[in-house]
Amino acid sequence: MSDEKRDQAIDEQITEDRGNVKEDAENKERDQDDRTEGRIGYRSRGRIFFRKKVCKFCTQNIKIDYKNADLLRRFTTERGKILPRRITGTCARHQRELARHIKRARTIALLPFVKK
**SS in 3 state form for 63-88?**
CCCCCCHHHHHCCECCCCCECCHHHH
Domain of 103 in residue numbering reads as 56-107
C-alpha dihedral, 53 to 57 to 60 to 65, nearest 10°: 150
At 20 the pLDDT is: 56
pLDDT at 59 over 90: yes
Judgement on whether residues 70 and 43 belong to the same structural domain of the protein: no
Judgement on whether residues 29 and 72 belong to the same structural domain of the protein: no
Judgement on whether residues 40 and 67 belong to the same structural domain of the protein: no
Residue type at 59 in one-letter notation:
T
The better pLDDT of the pair 35, 5 is held by 5
Inside any domain, residue 6: yes
Inside any domain, residue 72: yes
Q: Which residues have a Cβ under 8 Å from the Cβ of 62 and sit 6 or more positions away?
A: 56, 71
At 52 the pLDDT is: 79
C-alpha dihedral, 91 to 94 to 95 to 100, nearest 10°: 170
Judgement on whether residues 61 and 20 belong to the same structural domain of the protein: no
Highest mean pLDDT among 8-12, 58-62, 112-116: 58-62
Number of domains making up the chain: 2
